[in-house]
Amino acid sequence: MATRITTYSEYVTSSTVDNIRSIESQTLSGISVIKVFLQPGANVDGAIAQLASDLAGHPAVHASRYATAFILRYNASSVPILQLSLSSPTWSERSSTTTACTAYGRHWRPSRG
């Protein structure tokens, strides 16, 4: 069922949102992630408004057992370029963070996760 909803959403999005460069999707057990890439110079706010309008009219949204879509906006400056993960069976989280910041520089900020 998730694949069916994803396919329909891709079809509607590709035919109603302006300046789409490409669409990528991944369907997992009960979850669907659809990435919409826009052409350079595209009106991002307008595309988000079109996408929100399309998803609000999606038949699955009206069924009570399906959650509504979340639209997340990313650009090249908000996507992490490198993510470093450290773990140790003997060090505490604080020790790992201190070691990482000391070894790799103070300009790196640890994130929880």
Q: pLDDT tens for residues 15-71?
A: 889 899 999 988 877 778 888 999 988 999 999 999 888 877 766 555 556 666 778
pLDDT band at residue 98 using 50, 70 and 90 as cut-offs: confident
47-56 long-range contacts (CB < 8 A, ≥24 apart) are 47/17, 47/18, 47/19, 47/20, 48/73, 50/16, 50/17, 50/18, 51/13, 51/17, 54/9, 54/12, 54/13, 54/16, 54/17, 55/9
pLDDT at 45: 92
pTM: 0.60
